[in-house]
């Protein structure tokens, strides 16, 4: 996804700095930008695309009308879902971690039940 730029740095979009009728989405990679453009075109959403140099990297920017922000946000979520990576990339370790977490929860529930009776 693009640089996190919202109020708490959790999102990759902001209000347009000069025209409040638009929102700006940004992406760090050409692949993400092309995928977002494809999804916007599929939903028939009008947009403007631009590239900007930012801290020795290219930032891909998209301006979308405020009234179509909801549909553009759906496209943004789909790009995020298709391009994200697992936090724990190794499947064995990932499922082992889940097993340990569920085991701890089970032991806590059993301990609570035994302490009540």
pLDDT at site 42: 94
* Residues 74, 103 within the same domain: no
Domain at 43, CATH number: 3.30.70.2750
**This prediction's pTM:** 0.71
What is the number of structural domains in the chain? 2
CA atoms within 13 A on the CB side of 68: 17
The residue range of the domain holding 21 is: 1-84
* Residues 40, 96 within the same domain: no
Dihedral (Cα; 44, 46, 52, 56), 10-degree rounding: -30
* Residues 79, 92 within the same domain: no
How do residues 2-50 score in pLDDT, each as one tens digit?
555 555 667 888 888 899 999 999 998 899 999 999 999 999 999 999 9
pLDDT at site 104: 98
CB 76 within 8 A of CB 36: yes
């Amino acid at each position: 996804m693009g640089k996190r730029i919202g109020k708490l740095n959790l999102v990759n979009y902001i209000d347009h700095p000069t025209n409040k009728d638009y929102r700006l989405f940004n992406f760090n990679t050409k692949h993400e930008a092309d995928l977002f453009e494809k999804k916007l075109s599929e939903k028939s959403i009008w947009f403007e695309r631009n590239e900007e140099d930012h801290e020795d990297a290219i930032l891909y920017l998209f301006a979308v009308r405020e009234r179509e922000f909801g549909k553009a946000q759906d496209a943004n979520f789909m790009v995020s879902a298709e391009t994200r990576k697992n936090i724990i990339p190794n499947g064995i370790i990932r499922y082992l971690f889940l097993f340990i977490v569920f085991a701890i929860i089970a032991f806590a529930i059993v301990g609570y039940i035994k302490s009540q009776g």
